[in-house]
Structure 1
Amino acid sequence: MGSKLSKDGCFHFPTMDERNLDTLRDYLCNYNPPEGCGSSCINILLVCMVGAGKSSIINTFLSALHPQGPTMTCVPTGMNPQSVTPEHSIPDLYIANYPIIPENVIHGVIFIFDIDTTDFISDDKMKEFQELQTMVAQKYVHRVVIGTKFELLGIPEKHNAWIYEYEPLQRKFEQLAKRTGMDRRSMFVVSNQWTGEQIEMIKCILALYVLNNMVRNIDRFLKAQ
């Protein structure tokens, strides 16, 4: 999964070809949690501020899992009144009136940041994220960061295949690591900027690469219990 730091500061090296896309998709589409874990699926919670891209991320994941078919917009996005993620809130993962049963245990958390505007998030709001990610870590819940809207950093689309090697993104990850307290190795990017009937191969791989990372890490934890 490319977790070693290269001399240029890059952690991730996803292979951008059809064969890797098929491998990522096949693993995710055919994955089943290990027997005895108490759940028939893996539950991943998405957390971010309004407009950072929760709904778009879901649509990107769904489209990337079925790249031969039409792109999916199952989840209303933006300020759509039917949006399933219209408000920002830092959730309590263990609310008293929300009993924890195998079907709703949270196995992973994705913190989503608009990578172009991270410098403008207030210290108070960032402190909330720090406290939540600390609580998640204490519960042994796998967590990652996804940066969206990286296109606004001025990275040409033709360079997306080497996105993790791009210095402006590395600087953003370094700043975000300092402010959130999370390891840069747990930081990824996903592009929600896709149009047309099918999502492009590179954007599919970027999306499935982070999902693959999460599921494999969660799977290892479940098998070790």
Structure 2
Amino acid sequence: MTTVLHIHPEDPQPRLISEAAKVLRQGGLIAYPTDTTYALGCGIGEKAALDRLIRIRRLDNKHQFTLLCPDLSVLALYAKVDNPDYRLLKAHTPGAYTFILQGTSEVPRRLMHPKKRTIGIRVPDHPICQALLAEYGEPIMTSTAHLPDDEFPLTDPQDVRDFLNNQVDMVIDGGFCGVTETTVISLVDGNGPEVIREGAGLLDAIF
């Protein structure tokens, strides 16, 4: 049975945030709101939860996973980045961007692109995300709550509860989200930013 927590989107209740972080620590899979759409999340090393996420979204083995981070203080642990790229990240986080970088050995191989060894890094601009990351104490493996047969990601909390009931351990109902996913920017090739997907983050701020 999926637990539902109603958490205030602007002033998250610490007791409820603690409950959600406990589910992550116990290896659970959660659905939660972000500054773009709803997302699915679990601990970085939780293989069983990751496998459930993969089944829900019907992902193939080339899917690019992303780490949800509170800020850039953990960046060097999980990704390789040079100074110009770091300045770009710093200028556009938190925000509706996912940056693709070379992963380090700290990232489980199953989370990285199998050939490119890349990982997404995302710093969300959402109080629930930031409170959850602070309570959990480390990045969260995250993926958009975009069901395989749907045109758009989940954005209505009632839909999140209905479609993911008994598939995730917890749903954080933080109200409505948007329908536009993050803008994805690759910084892998060393030739400046490359747009992989145009989304909620403004491109004219990148170039």
Normalised TM-score (structure 2): 0.32
Q: From the CA coordinates, give the structure whose radius of gyration is larger.
A: 1
Normalised TM-score (structure 1): 0.30
- Determine which structure has the larger strand proportion and give its number: 2
- Determine which structure has the larger helix proportion and give its number: 1
